[in-house]
């Protein structure tokens, strides 16, 4: 099956490969991801193999299989296998980097107002414990053009900036940041760069070394079709020695790979399924799928904005397979966003992300191979 097929029969065939409730218009793939049936079946096989002899598998077989899966993922991302380790999710990967670095009073950590809430709180925690100063580059919404992001970050870079933390695709706004250019600006200012790529793998093409960051973390369970609880941390050789996982365990002092490979007993099956998830992503179209999803997300967002008389959260080229659209509603509080999201789910069987930001309520629509324009027309009609 290819990603660009668009007939009702093709869409029904695509949706049948996912475990989603057919009565639900699922417009929030970026929220927690959804794994296709084929990947979930492979995960069940791994679990049966483990439970047949946990001692044999966990003690003698796991690490080589784990490294093979990591090497497959690294190759998919243009990187070396020895530069990539698995973590539970992107937030855990960001925390591992932040908690490993030493900051002092007077140091500055720079982020943007588009940052993911959980990582923003981790930054506040690290800054408070070390005496460093957290600096936020404010990005206005709706975004006029991509140049505004670079200008805002550049204006807050200074001689005391030690670390710049950037989203690749921001969660709440769905905006793509020009991370390669921003990493270059940060390095010119003498700062290091951590990129939170939670939404990027499987949504946009990636070549991690070419981005130029010091560390890059991402999720495989959102757009790359792996089971939930599967993230990675990439660090080139120069940035590995100082890194440690959040849970210090038996591998402590034995190097980057050993420390992250065993942090205690956990379910390794999401990581072992990564090669199958990549294969499934490619079977659905790979690059063609990413282009199809971006096209559908933009088409849906433009239809919603026209129907409601509102606007997108930024320029068309600032989005990939998720797009934000302002809602035509007066109340713009967090509670109002939560209430509307719950009402859409309970009364209309529509799952989507509603956010309160920049003095308005916004809907973030996502597009995956199982979606079609009729899904978003349901949302337009309800509101």
Provide the CATH number for the domain around residue 102: 3.40.640.10
- On the question of pLDDT at 5 being above 60, the answer is no
Structural domains of the chain, count: 2
The DSSP bridge pattern shows strands 322-326 and 360-366 to be: antiparallel
Domain range enclosing 239: 43-279
Residue 3 has pLDDT above 60, yes or no: no
CB-count exposure of residue 377 (10 Å: 0-12, 13-18, 19+): middle
- 318 with 236, same domain: the answer is no
Instruction: Lowest mean pLDDT of 2-6, 30-34, 61-65, 283-287, name the range.
Output: 2-6
Alpha-carbon distance 270 to 245, whole Å? 18
Can you tell me the mean pLDDT for 278-302? 97
In a domain, 124, yes or no: yes
Answer yes or no: is 2 within a domain.
no
In this structure, are residues 90 and 197 in contact, taking their beta carbons and an 8 Å threshold? yes
**Domain identity same for 56 and 136:** yes
- In the chain, the percentage of residues whose pLDDT exceeds 70 is 97
How high is the mean pLDDT of the chain? Answer: 96
Query: What are the structure tokens assigned to 324, written together?
Result: 């934000």
Residue 26 lies in a domain: yes
Among 2-16, 119-133, 259-273, the minimum mean pLDDT is found in 2-16
Residue 12 lies in a domain: yes
The pLDDT tens digits for 356-379 are 999 999 999 999 999 999 999 999
Rounded Cα gap, residues 310 and 327, in angstroms: 7
84 domain-assigned: yes
- Tell me how crowded residue 36 is: count the other CB atoms within 10 A of its CB: 23
DSSP alpha helix (H) spans, the chain: 8-15, 29-32, 37-52, 54-56, 62-76, 90-100, 117-130, 147-156, 179-188, 208-211, 256-261, 269-272, 274-283, 287-308, 334-348, 373-382
Where among 255, 279, 303 does a domain terminate? 279
The reply to whether 266 and 318 lie within a common domain is no
- Does residue 51 sit in the same domain as residue 90? yes
Does the model's pTM come out above 0.85?
A: yes
Q: At residue 225, does pLDDT exceed 50?
A: yes
Domain contains 1: no
- Say yes or no: 80 and 158 in one domain: yes
- Domain end marker among 279, 308, 328: 279
Report whether pLDDT(226) > 50.
yes
**Residue 6 pLDDT > 60:** no
- Looking at the fold, whether 263 and 343 belong to one and the same domain comes out as no
Going by the DSSP 8-state scheme, the letter that residue 108 receives in this structure is E
Q: Under DSSP, is residue 146 helix (H, G, I), strand (E, B) or coil?
A: coil
Angle at 234 between CA 231 and CA 238, to 5 degrees: 155
Q: Are residues 290 and 255 in the same domain?
A: no
User: Do 60 and 146 belong to one domain?
Assistant: yes
- 190/208 same-domain check: yes
Q: Among 316, 358, 313, which Cα is nearest to 337's?
A: 358
Average pLDDT on 156-181 reads: 98
The answer to whether position 17 is within a domain reads: yes
Q: What is the SS3 assignment for 158-223?
A: CCCEEEEEEECECCCCCCECCHHHHHHHHHHCCCEEEEEECCCECCECCCHHHHCCCEEEEECCCC
Here the tokens at position 60 are: 């003698």
Whether 3 is covered by a domain: the verdict is no
Residues 360 and 241 in one domain: no
DSSP output for 55-88? HHIIIIIHHHHHHHHHHHHHHHTTS-GGGEEEES
Question: By the 8 A CB rule, do 218 and 198 touch?
Answer: yes
- What's the CATH number where 304 sits? 3.90.1150.10
Name the residue with tokens 């999401």: 270
Q: Which of 233, 261, 279 is the last residue of a domain?
A: 279
Q: Give yes or no: residues 235 and 372 share one domain.
A: no
Check pLDDT > 80 for residue 224: yes
Residue 237 shares a structural domain with residue 335: no
The model's pLDDT over 170-217, given as tens digits with 9 standing for 90+, comes to: 999 999 999 999 999 999 999 999 999 999 999 999 999 999 999 999
27-50: pLDDT as tens digits: 999 999 999 999 999 999 999 999
């Amino acid at each position: 099956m290819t990603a660009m097929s668009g007939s009702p029969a093709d869409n029904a065939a695509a949706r049948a490969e996912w475990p989603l409730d057919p009565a639900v218009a699922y417009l929030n793939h970026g929220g927690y991801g959804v794994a296709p049936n084929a990947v979930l079946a492979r995960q069940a096989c791994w679990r049966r193999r483990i439970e047949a002899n946990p001692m044999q598998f966990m003690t003698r077989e796991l690490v080589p299989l784990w490294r093979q899966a990591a090497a497959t993922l690294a190759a998919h991302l243009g990187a070396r296998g020895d530069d990539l380790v698995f973590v539970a999710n992107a937030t855990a990967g960001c925390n591992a980097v932040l908690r490993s670095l030493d900051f002092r009073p007077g140091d500055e950590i720079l982020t943007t107002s588009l940052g993911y809430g959980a990582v923003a709180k981790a930054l506040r925690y690290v800054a408070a414990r070390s005496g460093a100063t957290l600096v936020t580059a404010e990005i206005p919404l709706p975004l006029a053009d991509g140049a505004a992001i670079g200008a805002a970050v550049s204006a807050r870079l200074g001689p005391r900036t030690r670390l710049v933390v950037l989203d690749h695709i921001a969660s709440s706004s769905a905006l793509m940041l020009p991370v390669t250019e921003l990493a270059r600006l940060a390095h010119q200012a003498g700062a290091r760069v951590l990129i939170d790529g939670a939404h990027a793998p499987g949504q946009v093409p990636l070549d991690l070394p070419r981005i130029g960051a010091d560390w890059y973390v991402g999720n495989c369970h959102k757009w790359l079709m792996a089971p939930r609880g599967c993230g990675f941390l990439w660090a080139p050789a120069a940035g590995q020695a100082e890194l440690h996982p959040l849970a210090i365990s038996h591998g402590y002092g034995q190097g980057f790979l050993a420390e992250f490979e065993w942090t205690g007993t956990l379910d390794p099956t999401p990581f072992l399924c990564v090669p199958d998830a990549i294969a499934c992503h490619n079977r659905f179209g790979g690059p063609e799928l990413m282009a199809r999803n971006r096209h559908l997300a933009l088409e849906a967002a433009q239809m919603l904005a026209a129907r409601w008389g509102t606007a997108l959260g930024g320029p068309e080229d600032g989005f990939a397979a998720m797009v934000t659209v302002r809602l035509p509603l007066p109340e713009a509080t967090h509670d109002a966003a939560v209430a509307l999201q719950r009402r859409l789910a309970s009364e209309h069987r529509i799952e989507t992300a509603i956010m309160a930001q920049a003095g308005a309520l916004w809907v973030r629509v996502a597009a995956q191979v199982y979606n079609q324009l009729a899904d978003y027309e349901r949302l337009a009609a309800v509101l």
